[in-house]
Chains A and B, each alone.
Chain A
């Protein structure tokens, strides 16, 4: 399949390991990523708070770029996914159209509203399909207990276009099953990572992150995995602060979703940027049991 690749800001900066892993998985599964150096930031929810109309226009421009190329958009960040699909939703309001369309006309970038925005999780579980992913697994992650952490904006606010139940999603756990890992169910998996207020009131944000990490750990998770690089910053980059906020050591490795898929498909830790994490991923990998039925690595 061929799709417009919208990496988002963080995967091009502090979260480059997410971009590395996405490219690895795309190549392995035959997903052609079409790149557009014209794509801008989605506003990350913050521009939306300062000026909603401007933010819809910014994302209409992004979506218009893909529409011209006749492609749907692939995101690898829950927040990008949320903001781009929210723009689609808000453009259904004629009053919003009336404000945004003249500005888009001025830059020669009209947007009709035909582009679907899909997160990598949806592409892997729906378009490629769990069976096809499973068939490509070379090194199943047998024995690794993983707490999926969805990230708010992949699920909420739910719309008619939403892929699944916002409060009881299953797709991430199904994907973990397909790559041989053992999904851990815990309440925190659909909760907030605290990131949006990390720079507003850090201590509160750290406590919120700690709450979800503790929940995963108390349910037996060896590691957590997230489809959102902002969650990754909060859970991995600031895990030391989360530990300090509640006085408990977690040592909880946090994976980006495509990193775990890539590992199961045969990638090395270096190819997918695991050494870039602040919490070492090694202890989690040590839980993976060799699988006698797996095909030898090429």
Chain B
């Protein structure tokens, strides 16, 4: 009993740098069942229509992480994405290589930028040499300790998050979602002895360039939720070290700013984050905006019930203790 068959127009990105002047899209029309994965269709195209189509894949079961690509502009595993819903939504299927990594040929990218960022976080346990792992006890962690990084080991390093990330696209200093999620995993691993050092270094290593746009979390095929782990890292970094960078100063400054009147004091926040020098740097822009929006330099009203808000701060905002 087969599902209703579907005539699927598939536009595939084709490009061989060095030989082709520019990328082109080749259209293949296939008759498939709606639940057919995109990867199966691409392999059929290669087997029956065009043996020169180049793609990377291996397990076909969302385990190896090899077949990440852009499917109708979303970073996805091709083996895990059925064709039917894509055609239904878009009327066609556009398959392109991942973003933020140079194309080697067709759907295959050079993953070097992704792995370079991963190396930067030193993704291995740093044990204290004075306290080696006890012999015969491979896992000296409690279930509660493991639960703190329960999601991260699910990562299959497919780079879908790296491909989806606008901060990666705009700034080579940003390590990317996967590297930071993995860093989080080592920071909260009780066996790792370099927590403090890792947190201090990542503050200047691009942590605060995360836009918390959550595109990585939506792209991740394994529900690792990188953006939430990056948030956790930010709070841990502030607890460990306070506001040493514009990013952490901005987060702390914002929190203090709201405590005073309950509403944001926009101009004061610029000073809190950037200091006096920064305020001077923003002066041109500020004046430009003030011409149209004269109230931006005035203090907002204080909310009614400000004492309630300040009690919440007293109850729940304890000063950093210097330890994550």
Contacts and interface: CB of A to CB of B under 8 A. Distances in A.
Interface of A: 9-10, 12-14, 16, 37-41, 43-54, 57-58, 61, 99-100, 102-104, 106-109, 152-153, 156-158, 166-168, 187, 191-192, 194, 196-197, 199-201, 204, 207-208, 211, 237-238, 240-241, 275-278
A203 B275 CA distance: 18
B295 A46 contact: no
A41 B118 CA distance: 37
Contact of B263 (A9, A45, A49, A51): A9
B289 A14 contact: yes
Given A157-B214, A168-B89, A201 B303 contact: no
B84 to A, nearest CB: 15
A41 B308 CA distance: 13
Interface stretch (B17-25, B28-36, B47-55, B249-257): B249-257
A156 B262 contact: no
B305 interface: yes
A40 B285 contact: no
Given A44-B254, A157-B217, A201-B209, A207 B170 contact: yes
B184 to A, nearest CB: 14
B314 to A, nearest CB: 9
Given A166-B218, A200-B250, A238 B316 contact: no
Contact of B167 (A16, A109, A204): A204
A13 B300 contact: yes
A18 B316 CA distance: 33
B258 A41 contact: yes
Chain B, interface SS category: helix
B274 interface: yes
Contacts of A44: 254, 264
Interface residues of B, number: 63
Contacts of B191: none
B295 A16 contact: yes
Contacts of A37: 301, 303-304
A40 B270 contact: no
A187 B96 CA distance: 14
Contacts of A54: 255, 312-313, 316-317
5 contacts: A9-B266, A52-B231, A156-B215, A191-B166, A196-B212
Contact of A45 (B212, B295, B301): B212
Given A40-B258, A207-B170, A58 B211 contact: no
B121 interface: no
A51 B263 CA distance: 17
Interface of B: 73-74, 89, 166-167, 169-171, 208-215, 217-218, 225, 227-228, 231, 234-235, 238, 245-247, 250-252, 254-255, 258, 262-264, 266, 269-270, 273-274, 278, 285, 288-289, 292-293, 295-296, 300-301, 303-305, 308-309, 311-313, 315-317
Nearest first, the 6 A-B pairs at minimum CB distance are A156-B214, A46-B254, A192-B213, A9-B264, A103-B315, A40-B262
Contacts of A208: 166-167, 169-170, 211
Nearest to A102: B315
A197 B211 contact: yes
Contact of B251 (A49, A57, A152): A49
Task: Determine which residue in A14, A57, A104 has the highest number of CB atoms from chain B within 10 A of its CB, and name it.
Answer: A14
Nearest to A9: B264
Contact of A39 (B210, B235, B303): B303
Contacts of A51: 235, 255, 316-317
A43 B250 contact: no
Contacts of A194: 166, 170, 211
